Structure 1
Amino acid sequence: MRIALTGATGHVGANLVRRLVELGHDVRALVHEDRRALEGVAVQAVPGDLLDVDSLVKAFSGADQVFHAAVRISIASGDEKLVHDTNVIGTRNVVEACVRAGVKRLIHFSSIHALSSTPVDQLIDESRPLASGSGLLPYDRSKSEAEQQVQAGVAKGLDAVILIPTGVLGPHDYRPSAMGQVLLDLALGRLPGLVDGAFNWVDVRDVIEGAIRASERCAAGERVLLSGHRKSLREIAVAVEHETGRKAPWFVSPMWLARASAPLVTAFARMTGKPPRVTTESLHALRNHKLISHDKATRLLDYHPRPFEETIAASIAWFKSAGAIG
């Protein structure tokens, strides 16, 4: 099958492109400057810009399917325009380009952040409405609006499937992702403390298998949650300690203290030119989306997330192989 892929050099995309090539597909990957994630992979790299519809039409021409994995993830304020342009306008352009290029199916990677986080203590499944309202964080709003762009395309006849993964961990994290950087910092002893928070984490390889099966089995317009295991930052640190021997930080800040200090941490990071370790946005994620189902994925896709410890082990092993951990 001829498949085009956006976001091929990101965490999800780097794993997806390898699996698609392994399965024998003819893969065309949209790329910008950084092509490290595609080194040694038998893929056709083509230029493309999410904000240039004509370039997308050219890149998608002749493709049977398009996997839209490109995203701008941000846990800090100040990136609102870039986040909106990439995630919302970019997705709108992908939808238009798929229609113009005659693509048979679009597989869109949404996010758990696209869904409403309230009520906090009730199970989240595919019936949970999209996040809305004036108080949304920029990234959450962008992913909600991006999914609406895909749904609008479906309403006009586009064949599209929407995947909703939770927090992604695992190998081939080249940049690395924000959470990949946390794993590195833990492995290298760079984190002085943790926050008393948790999130639902899923192995990137499970997300990829779920996405490929969804592309084959799901009806047009289907939405599927791909969740994993809810684990605290302390549990993650202990798992990293098990793989590296590096002691987990003993100090765990209560959430109220972390929230109170987040603006100061962010301001200090701006002065030093370094990304903040803790932001209001990241703390919001660590106290919401508590109960997340993957029953639909299990039923339709035979989806079974692997043990969390395997994910951490694979992440650390890959960082070691890449020379990021000595």
Structure 2
Amino acid sequence: MILITGATGLVGSHLALHLIENGESVRAIYRNKASIDKTKSLFNLYQKENLFDKIEWMEADITDVPALETAFENIDYVYHCAALISFDGASEEQLRKVNIEGTANIVNLSVANKIKKLCHVSSIAALGDLAPHESIVTEEIEWNPEKPHSDYAISKYGAEMEIWRGQQEGLQIAIINPGVIIGPGFWEQGSGEIFSAVAKGLHFYTKGFTGFVAVTDVVQLLVKIMKSDPDNSEQAKQINGERFIVIAENIAFREVLNTIAEALKVKNPTLYAPIWMTEIAWRTDWILSTIFRQKTKFSKDTARASHATILYSNEKVKTTLHHEFRDVKEYITEIVALQSKHSK
């Protein structure tokens, strides 16, 4: 049986659907019943609601060890997709608890229960830092603790350290580092907020770029890495102790925003927001959030990431698993069409 953590999120819910469609036995953990509705809505979006009840749901939290012990009974493979994504400065403690402590719990129980393999969904945020002579981020880039990193990046890097510890303790592991994951069904959180912002009339854009990838690619690669690649099964079965950057392409934020706007048939963002403007914006937001005791809407890390111009390489995953990625901009158009059809 397969255990999925984070099955009420974008990647986990798509992974659950993919596995169920392919006849796998899936157990998924959830924190509260309301969160399950997100996954059920996704199955409905794809008109696969008849498959939803095939998931064995179990109430547990990755920070709650006693509940996790029950969830791990009779489990062979674990996909660890659960994580807290936040760039709010007030979330540091919670990020460390969920992403680092929670991952440590998953590793400990995987070792104790002799799990056959653990696949961990990390992030490009946890990758290393370019040295002066380097121009593109690969899996071999080293993390530089002397350089500034967001609390989220630090927590994801810490989570990876727990995964590597698991390997040292005899656990078979693999890590994927996706870029910005694009997919339907979760427009109120994570990368889905990009769609929501454009739909509401986003006016500003920046000139940064980063790696983007379709959620369907992420799911397909997770399964290939966990089990086997039909084209090269022996090699894939031996994947252990490896990490893979999972992006389709490096794309400018403005291109993505314009593609979303065109698909939604709304106005493109037309006002360029230079660095000085976004620096003022996040400070203003911080002051207002402090005064009114609410979460920040535009953090310092988000502001600075929007101007980042870092290139990521996907050569390793393409070469190892012979994977052809979907065109991100075409997929964005498909996402909007799917959402529009469902809302009618």
**TM score, norm. by length of structure 1:** 0.92
Q: Which runs of 5+ in 2 are unaligned?
A: 41-48, 228-235
Secondary structure in 2 matching 1:171: coil
* CA deviation after TM superposition for structure 1 residue 254, in Å: 1.2
Residue 56 of structure 1 is matched in structure 2 by: 68
Residue 300 (1) aligns with residue 320 (2): yes
Instruction: Work out the CA distance in 2 between the residues paired with 1:196 and 1:275.
Output: 26
CA shift digits 1:156-210 (9 cap, x unpaired)? 1111111111111112326x32321121221232x23223322211111111111
1:227 maps to 2:227: no
1:149 to 139, 148, 162: 162
TM-score (norm 2): 0.87
- Return the offset for 1:65: 0.4
Partner of 1:113: 125
Structure 2 counterpart of 1:29, which letter?
A
1:57-206 to structure 2, matched below 5 A, reads: 57-119=69-131, 122-130=135-143, 132-133=145-146, 135-173=148-186, 176-189=188-201, 191-206=202-217
Instruction: Report the count of equivalent residues.
Output: 321
Contact 1:88/1:146 (CA < 8 Å) preserved in 2? yes
Give a deviation string over 1:1-46, Cα, whole Å, max 9, x none. Answer: x100000001111111111111110000001111113323121101
Q: Is the 8 A contact 1:164 1:223 kept in 2?
A: yes
Q: Closer, same or farther in 2 for the Cα pair 1:318/1:9, shift >3 Å?
A: farther
- For residues 216 and 293 of structure 2, the distance between their equivalents in structure 1, rounded to whole angstroms, comes to 33
The range that moved more, 84-93 or 96-105, is 96-105
SS at 1:231's partner residue?
strand
Find the aligned partners of 1:228 and 1:145 in 2 and give their Cα distance: 25
Counterpart position of 2:30: 31
SS at match of 1:144: helix
d(CA) in 2 for partners of 1:241, 1:111: 26
Question: Is 1:245 aligned with 2:265?
Answer: yes
The reply on whether 1:213 has 2:191 as its aligned counterpart is no
Instruction: Give the conservation status (yes or no) of the 8 Å contact 1:62–1:103.
Output: no
The equivalences for 1:255-270 within 5 A come to: 255-270=275-290
Deviation, 1:260, is 3.6
Secondary structure (helix, strand or coil) at the match of 2:191 reads: helix
Aligned counterparts of 2:339 and 2:61: Cα–Cα separation in 1: 29
| Larger displacement relative to structure 2 (116-125 or 309-318) | 116-125
Equivalent position amino acid for 1:209 in 2: Q
**In structure 2, what is the Cα distance between the partners aligned to 1:253 and 1:202?**
25
- Matched position secondary structure for 1:223: strand
RMSD: 2.0
2:231 match: none
Instruction: Indicate if the aligned counterparts of 2:135 and 2:311 stay in contact, CA closer than 8 A.
Output: yes
Task: In structure 1, list runs of 5 or more residues that go unmatched.
Answer: none
Q: Distance in 1 between matches of 2:265 and 2:254?
A: 15
